[in-house]
Amino acid sequence: MSGPCFDVLTERWIPVIRRDGLPDELGILPCLNEAHELREIRDPAPIVEFGLYRLLVAFVLDALVLAGRRPENPLDLEALIKDGHFDGNMIEDYIEHCGDVFDLFHPERPFLQTKMAKAKHSALAGIFPAAPSGTNVSHWHHDHEDDMAVHPQGAARLLATIAPFMTAGGAGLSPSINGAPPVYALPTGRNLFETIIFNLPLRNQDSGHGAVAWRSKRSPGGERSQATTVESLTWRPRQVQLIPEVSDDGSVAIRTMKFAKGDSTRLTWIDASLAYRYDKDKITPIRMRENRPLWRDAGPLALLSDDAHARGDKKISFRRPDVVEHAFAFGDAAGPLAIHVYAMRTDMKMKVFEWTKSALFVPRNLGRSTRLGSLVHCELERAEQAAYGLRICVKALYPREGAGNKQALQTVADRCERAYWQRLESRFQPVMNAFASLSPDAPDDPALIAATAKDWREAVRTIALQQFEQAAEDMDADSDALQRQVHARTRLANTLRKVLS
């Protein structure tokens, strides 16, 4: 009796939203053939959703490369967009070229997996951070790792998360090519077809002869010093082989897998979907930080390009993702560019604390003028300085400003700052819109900049003062405490005056 089969080209497993808003599931082939009629991919888990987008981007890019049509500049992307849909003949030719590599349970070349004769068996939960496994943090659920079983559709979706989001896993288990999971940006179009085109990498930093995962004939393992773009999109930091369990009624479930270390690298890789911070000779991708909503990183993620912004003598600069840069280059698009951002916060090793998906709606005039974008980023930095001042002044309500007690009023300060940013978030879109209406020459007119940012700065001032007063209300009312309140209140007012002038 032959084993189970699950053809990812035709079986229903990619969750999509159709143009009329109804959900559906499609295989890779209909997903691409109908991409111009589909609104988006949507999955409850952000890491799965982005993993599926990246999988389709890798598929299309590899097909274009083999067809001799690799896009090299935004004009090439614009030409693809004008076609209105993917070239069905190109897709069919690509599938024929790949051969029999799209079966999830193929005996020799299982899709996105490695055939392993000898490898330890592990719970499938080991590749899904929300499920407890081994010594992994289990703050989402408190079940046993062996209790997690998924159908082939779910297993295929989990495999798509490995390349972008795999963390370090202890001795010999390296993270994926971008290191600890960064923040990924996904500029979106009017439909799935446009979104995939927007996210095709143009930067060609290929070295070696690495292939996309399903066309690669080598088993991952060992340190790598070279990579190609299509290989990076499906990087294999782990060797995985699903172990299907077939019930009497023919249904298939997966609860275990063969599992081993895969490729590791010290290669400095510039990913087209990542924003980077440049500090002297150090290049660091933007990553999610605790208690920091992603909109606060709108500068690096959407507004800044190369040396568009630097911090004094430190010469720290940021560069937004290539895919965002290229999406803004389309000349005839109207309305703001919607940029979805996906992130998973870790301890920079194997512990996963949270994941999130957010969205930025950036006016195209603002995105096309990085001088104006830099002004908005400066306003964000003013808000950061005000938040720091708020925190310091709240802690100054404690005797001797907490000298000898580093945790003095720490919880109160955290709560005040968190509320400050939550209330300020709704004011960010208006300030982006305001600066987007300016001429690119506006950075040369300080009075105009101040007038444009007036409402934002007033919101920063008002919200910071209100949060301070809420904290002060809970303090003691003796003479010493009241004196500390007066000094802290005056100090905060002076700080805000300096920061917002």
Across 305-331, average pLDDT? 79
Q: pLDDT tens digits for 414-436? A: 999 999 999 999 999 999 999 99
Give residue 122's pLDDT band: very low, low, confident or very high (50, 70, 90).
Answer: confident
Distance CA 391, CA 366 (A): 31
Give residue 129's pLDDT band: very low, low, confident or very high (50, 70, 90).
Answer: confident
Residue 56 makes CB contacts below 8 A (sequence gap 6+) with 14, 28, 31, 32, 41, 196
Q: Are 215 and 101 in contact (CB under 8 A)?
A: yes
Distance CA 481, CA 276 (A): 45
Q: Checking DSSP bridges between strand 14-18 and strand 337-346, what pairing results, if any?
A: unpaired
As a CATH number, domain 366-500 is 1.10.132.100
Across 264-275, average pLDDT? 93
Across 158-170, average pLDDT? 92
| The dihedral formed by the CA atoms of 219, 284, 281 and 279, expressed in degrees to the nearest 10 | 180
Q: Are 267 and 99 in contact (CB under 8 A)?
A: no
Distance CA 164, CA 184 (A): 9
pLDDT at 333 over 80: no
User: Would you state the pLDDT for residue 120?
Assistant: 78
User: Would you state the pLDDT for residue 1?
Assistant: 47
Distance CA 216, CA 375 (A): 46
Residue where the block lists tokens 């790792």 = 145
Q: Are 59 and 213 in contact (CB under 8 A)?
A: no
User: Would you state the pLDDT for residue 370?
Assistant: 84
Distance CA 413, CA 354 (A): 22
Across 163-177, average pLDDT? 88
User: Would you state the pLDDT for residue 409?
Assistant: 82
Q: Are 60 and 32 in contact (CB under 8 A)?
A: yes
Higher pLDDT, 157 or 126: 157
* Reported pTM: 0.93
Across 62-81, average pLDDT? 95
Q: Where are the domains of the chain?
A: 14-263, 366-500
Q: pLDDT tens digits for 380-425? A: 999 999 999 999 999 988 876 656 666 768 899 999 999 999 999 9
User: Would you state the pLDDT for residue 404?
Assistant: 60
pLDDT at 377 over 90: yes
